[in-house]
């Protein structure tokens, strides 16, 4: 029922679950910069730490503090940069 | 740097990290009732879903909705009951 997802040789890891027919993950991003592609649209909420985010094709890095969220369109990609481990909730919309 | 922790045959799983010299995990509790012992004191924050919690030795179950937190003393134990998958942040105090 729960899944363990490993990306970038373990530098990003998450636990996947489903509730009310919707998929979500909670995970941690180690310090570094990583690129994620999306299938469907996603909402990312920072639950601990902070994250810099840039949508692919965009110039601007945005800063998201703990407690804030951002949404990413489906069939797109985004870059994240963490200066310290950052925990998140990712909801597939 | 990140760790994957598995409890209760995979029904509770978490990703562990450290920031500012403090340990924390983000994880998911599958539906069911589980008992956790503590080493040091912990703060649990519900990041998605909801959780019923009872401290060992206490009679009362308390309900914690998403966005709320509770703290558990060190060298103690608590029971959690999830009716649907519940995501949490656990900070070791």
- Write out chain B residues lying below 8 Å of A6, CB-based: 4
Q: For residues A76-87, give the mean pLDDT.
A: 98
The separation between the first and the last C-alpha atoms of chain B, rounded to the nearest angstrom, is 19
Task: Tell whether the torsion through CA atoms of A82, A32, A11 and A35 is positive or negative.
Answer: positive
- The pLDDT, as a whole number, for residue A72 is 96
Q: For residues A12-26, give the mean pLDDT.
A: 97
- Write out chain A residues lying below 8 Å of B4, CB-based: 4, 6, 13
Helix locations, B1-93, DSSP H: none
Q: Which residues are B56's β-sheet partners?
A: none
Interface test with B, best of A3, A20, A28 (most B CBs within 10 A): A28
Distances (CA, A) of B87 to A59, B8, B75: 33, 16, 23
Residue A10 banded pLDDT, cuts 50, 70, 90: very high
CB contact under 8 A, B17 and A30: yes
CB contact under 8 A, B11 and A2: yes
ipTM value greater than 0.90: yes
Decide if A16 contacts A51 (C-beta within 8 A): no
- The pLDDT, as a whole number, for residue B92 is 96
CATH architecture label of B3-92: Sandwich (2.60)
Half-sphere exposure in the Cβ direction for A62 (13 Å, CA): 12
CB contact under 8 A, B2 and A91: no
Q: Which residue of A2, A4, A28 is in closest CB contact with B26?
A: A28
User: φ, ψ for residue A11 (rounded to 5)?
Assistant: -80, -15
Give me the residue spans of the domains in chain B.
Answer: 3-92
Burial B50-63 (b: 16+ CB within 10 A, else e): ebebbbeeeeeeee
CB contact under 8 A, A47 and B45: yes
Percent of chain A with pLDDT over 70: 100
Q: Which residue of B13, B84, B89 is in closest CB contact with A15?
A: B13
- The pLDDT, as a whole number, for residue A75 is 97
Decide if B38 contacts B71 (C-beta within 8 A): no
In angstroms, rounded to a whole number, what is the distance separating the alpha carbons of residues B92 and B22?
Answer: 7
Give CA angle at B11 (B9, A80), nearest 5°: 115
Walk across the sheet containing B3-7 and list its strands.
B3-7, B12-19, B22-29, B86-92, B42-48, B69-72
- The pLDDT, as a whole number, for residue B1 is 87
- Write out chain B residues lying below 8 Å of A18, CB-based: 85
Mean pLDDT of chain A: 97
pTM: 0.95
pLDDT digits (tens, 9 = 90+) for B75-89: 999 999 999 999 999
Q: Which residues are B90's β-sheet partners?
A: B25, B44
pLDDT digits (tens, 9 = 90+) for B4-39: 999 999 999 999 999 999 999 999 999 999 999 999
Judge residue B83's burial from the number of C-beta atoms within 10 Å of its C-beta, 0-12 exposed, 13-18 middle, 19 or more buried: exposed
- The pLDDT, as a whole number, for residue A1 is 87
């Amino acid at each position: 029922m729960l899944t363990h997802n490993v990306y970038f040789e373990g530098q990003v890891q998450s636990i996947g679950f489903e509730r009310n027919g919707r998929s979500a993950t909670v995970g941690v991003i180690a310090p570094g910069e990583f690129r994620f592609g999306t299938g469907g649209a996603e909402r990312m909420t920072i639950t601990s730490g902070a994250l810099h985010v840039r949508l692919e094709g965009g110039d601007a890095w945005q800063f998201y503090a703990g407690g804030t969220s951002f949404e990413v369109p489906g069939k797109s990609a985004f870059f994240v940069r963490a200066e310290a481990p950052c925990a998140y909730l990712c909801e597939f919309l």
